[in-house]
Amino acid sequence: MGDLAQKPLLEKAPTTHAGLLAWVEEVAELTQPDRIYWVDGSEEENTRLTDELVAAGTLTRLNPDLFPNSFAAFSDPADVARVEEQTFICSENKRDAGFTNNWMDPREMKDKLRGLFAGSMRGRTMYVIPFVMGHLDAEDPKFGVEITDSAYVVASMRIMANIGTAVLDKITETNAFFVPALHSLGAPLEPGQDDVAWPCNPDKWIVHFPEERSIWSFGSGYGGNALLGKKCYALRIASVMARDEGWLAEHMLILKLTSPEKKNYYVSAAFPSACGKTNLALLDPTIEGWEVETLGDDITWMRIGKEGELRATNPEAGLFGVAPGTGWGTNPNAMRAIAKGHSIFTNVALTDDGGVWWEGMTDEVPAHLTDWQGNSWTPDSDKPAAHPNSRFCTPIAQIDMLAEEYYSPEGVELSAILFGGRRKTTVPLVTQARSWTNGIFMGSTLSSETTAAAAGQVGVLRRDPMAMLPFIGYDAGDYLKHWISVSGKANPERLPHIFLVNWFRRTADGGFAWPGFGDNARVLKWAIERIEGKADAVETPIGYVPAGHALDVTGLDLTHAHVEDAVRVDREEWDAELASIEEWYAKFGDSLPDALRSELDSLKDRMSRH
């Protein structure tokens, strides 16, 4: 290691971790950056980097009176979402990637990537970001180091994870394993070449090597493609670690619900991207006496506790939320957190007084804006002012209703798990699973109409098991088996109750069958009352739905008949649904757990008698 430390590029390396030094050296040799910079995570550093980004035109400083220490970024129009087509799980064996993932032989992929990364950081700074997902004081902290040539990524990672010197010192002291996460925009600069505001490369590759637990991301500067602690590590790589170590890494929010009797319940919920996690996590209940606090809005790590209970933590430190639809009416808690500043907005519109705006932020639409592509915009423009997948990136600590348990490395015991998707028809507002395995069946057949969160067509129905379709880092059938096996180690009395929800069902006239947002507290209330054995339900072939009078609609302009309509199980719709589930399950081949096959068979049997 003495040798390595002598090399000029690494002279000032603030670590003696041999593996880390060797990797940084290797990457620098491959990518040929002008300089190497070790990120310390300090305030001064952030000021310097954001100043540089403003000077380079990547960031626009917002009016500090409106949004202190906040910035807007505008991406290349071809770099606005996760690229699932270009996302790969390169396991040693193709079988282990399963049918839900793109796969290429890891050696072939490495050769290809080495070609792409060769010289890819020329003319740029290579930033080394030590980070930890979850608590630095966890029993087994999950470390990573991201190498990137994007200062925007550094500034965003600083919001989304704990980064910098304290983390690096712990990695060094404990000689810890870390996930090497390599990112390059793929836009080297020739001497004298002018930079653009949002460098990226049309050729994008988001690649995971699950056995090695490494990530290589090339060509995109956007969100889940580039902030590698988030989807790439905390879901795809972590799901593989979780399989091997007996825990679960899931695409879920965590909230804390306090009843009028002051009893606390912790609930997690898995919804696909842009289907309501952040909104439910930051719920402002519209019913008297019920309180909600939040622990997380996107990723949940769960393990079985000492007493056989299922415990959940949020490994992230920030929110990377969908901006459109987030407003003072729908999500005041998010709005208050954003208003404190220290945020980075991407692809939102700018107001003339140096603030931000997006569709749904305020009832009143500003008379003039600059849209996300820099064009003058007025309400008669035929295009939205903000990109549909525009985002706010904000520290979680700025949320007033953050539960203090967020800070506990042990996490919280879950009482309920919700699975939900965006379905115009078929799926009732809420259905309680008949049993834990029946709940896993619900999760495994979860479906949703696609959104702008991923590149590709919007509004196409796809199955999205546990909302993890783009994030399962291994074979999908093995993943479902793992869910069954982990819960096999739990105390059956302490397993959470599982519910399927759908905030997006439509009525015959095309409107939403349920008002959603803050009123979703009424659905949570019913779920908790079911757990306590206090609420009435109607048994249907798919599970238990609220009896018309059992859902609290006090103060709403809704009758019990509306509720019955929102929770209706329609035989014709379900015949089509069962055929579609049958097709979905066929894709698993031999890998489908028997217990889930029998769940489908019993459901078909119950439906035929319905």
Under a CB-based contact definition with an 8 Å cutoff, are residues 403 and 484 in contact?
no
Which of 31, 273, 313, 432 touches ligand GDP by CB under 6 A? 273
Q: Which residues contact 317 (CB under 8 A, 6 or more apart)?
A: 159, 160, 161, 162, 395, 396, 397
Please choose which of ligand GDP, Mn ion, ligand PGA, none residue 271 contacts, taking the beta carbon within 5 to 8 angstroms, the exact cut-off set by kind.
ligand GDP
- CA pair distance 29, 120, nearest whole angstrom: 11
Please choose which of ligand PGA, Mn ion, ligand GDP, none residue 305 contacts, taking the beta carbon within 5 to 8 angstroms, the exact cut-off set by kind.
none
Closer to ligand GDP at the Cβ: 90 or 427?
427
Closer to ligand GDP at the Cβ: 524 or 535?
524
Please choose which of ligand GDP, Mn ion, ligand PGA, none residue 512 contacts, taking the beta carbon within 5 to 8 angstroms, the exact cut-off set by kind.
ligand GDP
Is 231 flagged in the annotation as binding?
A: yes
225 touches ligand GDP by CB under 6 A: no
Q: Rounded to the nearest whole angstrom, what is the least distance from the CB of residue 156 to ligand GDP in the complex?
A: 16
- CA pair distance 66, 549, nearest whole angstrom: 45
Which of 64, 512, 571, 582 touches ligand GDP by CB under 6 A? 512
Is 464 flagged in the annotation as binding?
A: no
Q: Which stretch binds ligand PGA (CB under 6 A): 64-72, 99-107, 142-150, 223-231?
A: 223-231
Closer to Mn ion at the Cβ: 150 or 278?
278
Closest CA to 548 of 532, 534, 537: 537
Is 101 flagged in the annotation as binding?
A: no
- CA pair distance 482, 243, nearest whole angstrom: 7
Could you say which residues in the range 453-512 bind ligand PGA, by CB under 6 A?
453
Please choose which of ligand PGA, Mn ion, ligand GDP, none residue 520 contacts, taking the beta carbon within 5 to 8 angstroms, the exact cut-off set by kind.
ligand GDP
Q: Rounded to the nearest whole angstrom, what is the least distance from the CB of residue 28 to ligand PGA in the complex?
A: 28
Is 489 flagged in the annotation as binding?
A: no
271 touches ligand GDP by CB under 6 A: yes
Over the window 303 to 332, marking each residue x when it contacts ligand PGA by CB under 6 A and - when it does not, the resulting string is -----------------x------------
By Cβ distance, which residue is nearest to Mn ion? Answer: 278
DSSP state of 519: G
385 touches ligand GDP by CB under 6 A: no
Closest CA to 347 of 200, 195, 222: 222
Q: Which two tokens stand for residue 392?
A: 């706010």
What would the 3-class secondary structure string for 333-346 be?
Answer: HHHHHHHCCCCEEE
Could you say which residues in the range 151-170 bind ligand PGA, by CB under 6 A?
none
- CA pair distance 223, 180, nearest whole angstrom: 18
Closer to ligand GDP at the Cβ: 297 or 371?
297
224 touches ligand PGA by CB under 6 A: yes
Q: Is 275 a catalytic residue?
A: yes
- CA pair distance 124, 191, nearest whole angstrom: 11
- Residue recorded with tokens 């090339």: 218
Under a CB-based contact definition with an 8 Å cutoff, are residues 164 and 142 in contact?
no
* Maximum distance among all Cα pairs of the chain, rounded to whole angstroms: 76
Helix (H) or strand (E) holding 600: helix 594-608
Which of 520, 521, 577, 578 touches ligand GDP by CB under 6 A? 520
Q: Rounded to the nearest whole angstrom, what is the least distance from the CB of residue 269 to Mn ion in the complex?
A: 11
273 touches ligand PGA by CB under 6 A: yes
Could you say which residues in the range 330-349 bind ligand GDP, by CB under 6 A?
330
Give the start-end residues of each E strand in 356-398. 356-357, 369-370, 376-377, 391-395
- CA pair distance 600, 51, nearest whole angstrom: 57
Closer to ligand PGA at the Cβ: 121 or 453?
453
Q: Rounded to the nearest whole angstrom, what is the least distance from the CB of residue 281 to ligand GDP in the complex?
A: 7
For residues 295-315, one letter each, b for 16 or more C-beta atoms within 10 angstroms of the residue's C-beta and e for the rest, the string is bbbbbbbbbbbeeebbbbbbb
Angle at 235 between CA 74 and CA 455, to 5 degrees: 40
Q: What is the DSSP string of 438-491?
A: HHHHHHHT-EEE--TTBSS-SS-EEE-GGG-TTT--S-HHHHHHHHHHHHHTS-
Could you say which residues in the range 276-315 bind ligand GDP, by CB under 6 A?
276-279, 297
- CA pair distance 500, 16, nearest whole angstrom: 50
Closer to Mn ion at the Cβ: 321 or 366?
321
- Which residues, in sequence order, are bridge partners of residue 322? 391
Closer to ligand PGA at the Cβ: 273 or 347?
273
Residue from 90, 200, 275, 393 carrying the catalytic annotation? 275
Size of the site for ligand GDP (CB under 6 A): 20
Please choose which of ligand GDP, Mn ion, ligand PGA, none residue 330 contacts, taking the beta carbon within 5 to 8 angstroms, the exact cut-off set by kind.
ligand GDP
Please choose which of ligand GDP, ligand PGA, Mn ion, none residue 438 contacts, taking the beta carbon within 5 to 8 angstroms, the exact cut-off set by kind.
none
Is 88 flagged in the annotation as binding?
A: no
Under a CB-based contact definition with an 8 Å cutoff, are residues 257 and 265 in contact?
yes
Under a CB-based contact definition with an 8 Å cutoff, are residues 257 and 437 in contact?
no
421 touches ligand GDP by CB under 6 A: no
Please choose which of Mn ion, ligand PGA, ligand GDP, none residue 300 contacts, taking the beta carbon within 5 to 8 angstroms, the exact cut-off set by kind.
none
Phi and psi torsions of 487, nearest 5°: -70, -20
Closer to ligand GDP at the Cβ: 518 or 593?
518
Closest CA to 219 of 109, 402, 86, 102: 86
Closest CA to 522 of 535, 512, 510: 535
Closer to Mn ion at the Cβ: 453 or 581?
453
For residues 133-150, one letter each, b for 16 or more C-beta atoms within 10 angstroms of the residue's C-beta and e for the rest, the string is bbbeebeebbbbbbbbbb
432 touches ligand GDP by CB under 6 A: no
- Which residues, in sequence order, are bridge partners of residue 292? 257
322 touches ligand GDP by CB under 6 A: yes
223 touches ligand PGA by CB under 6 A: yes
As annotated, the binding site includes 82, 222-224, 231, 251, 273-279, 298, 389-391, 422, 517-520
As annotated, the binding site for substrate includes 82, 222-224, 273, 389-391
Note the residues at the interface with ligand PGA (CB under 6 A). 82, 223-224, 231, 273, 320, 453
Note the residues at the interface with ligand GDP (CB under 6 A). 271, 273-279, 297, 321-322, 324-325, 330, 503-504, 512, 516-517, 520
